[in-house]
Amino acid sequence: MANKSFFYCQSCGQKSLRWMGRCPGCGEWNTLFEERGNSSVGRRESSASTGPVPLPITELPALEEERFSTGMLELDRVLGGGAVPGSVILLGGDPGIGKSTLLLQVAGRVAARQGLVLYVSGEESVSQIGLRATRLGAVEKSLFILAESEISAIEDHASQLNPRLLIIDSIQTMYNPEVSSAPGSVSQVRECSARLMRLAKGRAMSVFLVGHVTKDGSLAGPRVLEHMVDTVLYFEGERHQMFRILRSVKNRFGSTNEIGVFEMQEQGLAEVSNPSSLFLMAHPSGAVAGAVVVPIMEGTRPLLVEIQALVCATGFSTPRRMTAGIDHNRLALLMAVLEKRVGLLMGSYDAYVNVVGGVRVDEPAVDLAVALALASSFRDAPLDCRTAAVGEIGLTGEIRPVSALERRIREAGQLGFDRCLVPAASHTSARLGGVELVEVETLAAAIGIALRA
């Protein structure tokens, strides 16, 4: 029987019996790649008598979760306390964002404290990696560098060295010569990832995989890659900004709510232990219109970020609504509430909202701060620079309570804020951590209190 050829979409993994210019699954163009089937691989015989047998969950042996530190507390926080031996971690991010820099720093610190580390690169030569390691201060005797792309050779070296940590930079450059498709294709990425996963589980070594991202910010290659690994991390930020945020979107060994904050410096990535002060570094010291500080929660960590808004007369037939760091639809909703419930007619005005520092905020607790910033800019009325605001806004204009309010307020007090507007339904005391709490029931009342005449 002749071998059959199949076509797989590199973006969504859609399978097709014939090549098509446009993928029927995701609609992308020129993403179908050929994969040849192997007719010599027959059906595996049943081995139920010699294989593992089902066990009741009450009789499973009790195992304690073992972790080791990566040497970077911010990365340990995102991973849930450290790396788990035998886990496979996928790190994605835009080109030049600092993925290789981060992992080379981790490799140096693990090699200095935990044991042997093997860093495999399919994109750089050994001399290039050596120069970067010298600049980052990651030169250790227990750190081994290998410039290789063939997966079998990597497996052989990893089996001989048996490292504590294996880093693959990047998975799209790895290839298996037994697979006919080119490196980076769906079949190559899936096959190489599966072999590395078996290697990690069999030898209890932690494996970091660097993954490229597409134009829309998602990981390149099949989505099945995210299902195969244990943890998926995204390294976010703008190349011209000094902040970098590490975020987890999947973690089988911990929470996905934590973030790590780094600052890009000449000597590499530096951890930011107090990101609130960094985000508010350029916060105006006097009263200014259109800027409000809000305490947000990223996992268990409270952060203070600044919301800036600019409302001005439009020069177009349709007013523009632009956001950076918050949802565009949320801005439209808040402007509708401001017009209907407060009487601020902004239908013929452009509105721009920005979260300072490149932070992405998804929780509704920032609603009140965004609405106050819009109202302040529209009326050109300044807000007190030492006043923060937090609360969710309903469609009727009411201010709804938010979670972890006490931790948010204490973080604001530590950074010198002396007043905070909070929902009236929170049932808090008049002062907390040196911060005066002003309870507001409606958006109109909050605007009246926050804006100076």
| 100 within domain boundaries | yes
Indicate if 14 and 120 belong to the same structural domain.
Answer: no
- Cα–Cα distance, 213 to 52 (Å, whole number): 38
| 46 within domain boundaries | no
| 352 within domain boundaries | yes
Indicate if 86 and 73 belong to the same structural domain.
Answer: yes
Indicate if 215 and 199 belong to the same structural domain.
Answer: yes
**Confidence at residue 2, expressed as pLDDT on a 0 to 100 scale:** 46
**Domain edge (last residue) among 216, 244, 273:** 273
The identity of residue 263, as a single letter, is E
Indicate if 296 and 381 belong to the same structural domain.
Answer: yes
- Cα–Cα distance, 93 to 73 (Å, whole number): 20
**Confidence at residue 165, expressed as pLDDT on a 0 to 100 scale:** 97
Sheet of 291-298: strand order equals: 321-324, 349-355, 301-313, 291-298, 387-389, 419-423, 435-440, 431-432
| 319 within domain boundaries | yes
- How would you classify residue 114: left for phi > 0, otherwise alpha for psi between -120 and 50, otherwise beta? alpha
Q: State the residue range of the domain holding 181.
A: 67-273
| Structure token digits, residue 316 | 């177009």
- Cα–Cα distance, 284 to 291 (Å, whole number): 9
CATH number at residue 387: 3.30.230.10
CATH number at residue 162: 3.40.50.300
**pLDDT means per 10 residues in the chain (453 residues)?**
62 74 79 61 50 81 78 94 94 90 96 95 94 95 96 96 95 91 86 94 94 68 78 83 87 89 90 85 78 91 94 91 94 96 94 90 95 96 92 96 93 92 84 90 95 66
Total domains, the chain: 3
| Structure token digits, residue 163 | 């490292």
For helices 126-136 and 99-113, angle between their N-to-C axes, nearest 10 degrees: 70
**Confidence at residue 445, expressed as pLDDT on a 0 to 100 scale:** 95
| 182 within domain boundaries | yes
**Confidence at residue 218, expressed as pLDDT on a 0 to 100 scale:** 63
**Domain edge (last residue) among 273, 301, 324:** 273
**Confidence at residue 111, expressed as pLDDT on a 0 to 100 scale:** 96
Indicate if 265 and 296 belong to the same structural domain.
Answer: no
**Measured between alpha carbons, how far is residue 337 from residues 1, 332, 367 in Å?**
67, 9, 11
- Cα–Cα distance, 178 to 191 (Å, whole number): 10
| 53 within domain boundaries | no
Indicate if 301 and 221 belong to the same structural domain.
Answer: no
- Cα–Cα distance, 70 to 262 (Å, whole number): 15
**Domain edge (last residue) among 229, 254, 273:** 273
| 58 within domain boundaries | no
Indicate if 12 and 129 belong to the same structural domain.
Answer: no
Indicate if 211 and 290 belong to the same structural domain.
Answer: no
Q: What is the largest CA-CA distance in the chain?
A: 85
Say what the pTM is.
0.77
The helix or strand, by DSSP H or E, that contains position 426, with its residue range, turns out to be: none
β-sheet bridge partners, residue 305: 294
Indicate if 258 and 321 belong to the same structural domain.
Answer: no
